[in-house]
Amino acid sequence: MSIEVSTALTIASGGMMLSSSFFAIHLAASLNPYHRPAAPMIGCLASFLVGLSIATAFFDGSTISAARGALSDAVVSVFSLLPLAFAFVTYQLARISLRKRPEDPLLALLGPLASDE
For residue range 13-22, list pLDDT tens digits in order: 999 999 999 9
Q: What is the DSSP letter of 16?
A: H
Q: What is the DSSP string of 17-83?
A: HHHHHHHHHHHHHT--TT---HHHHHHHHHHHHHHHHHHHHHSSS-HHHHHHHHHHHHHHHHHHHHH
Q: Is the pTM of this model over 0.85?
A: no
Task: Give the model confidence (pLDDT) of 99-108 as tens digits.
Answer: 877 777 777 7
Q: Read off the pLDDT of residues 55-81 as tens digits, 9 standing for 90 and up.
A: 998 887 788 888 999 999 999 999 999
Close Cβ partners of 12 (under 8 Å, ≥ 6 residues apart) = 51, 54
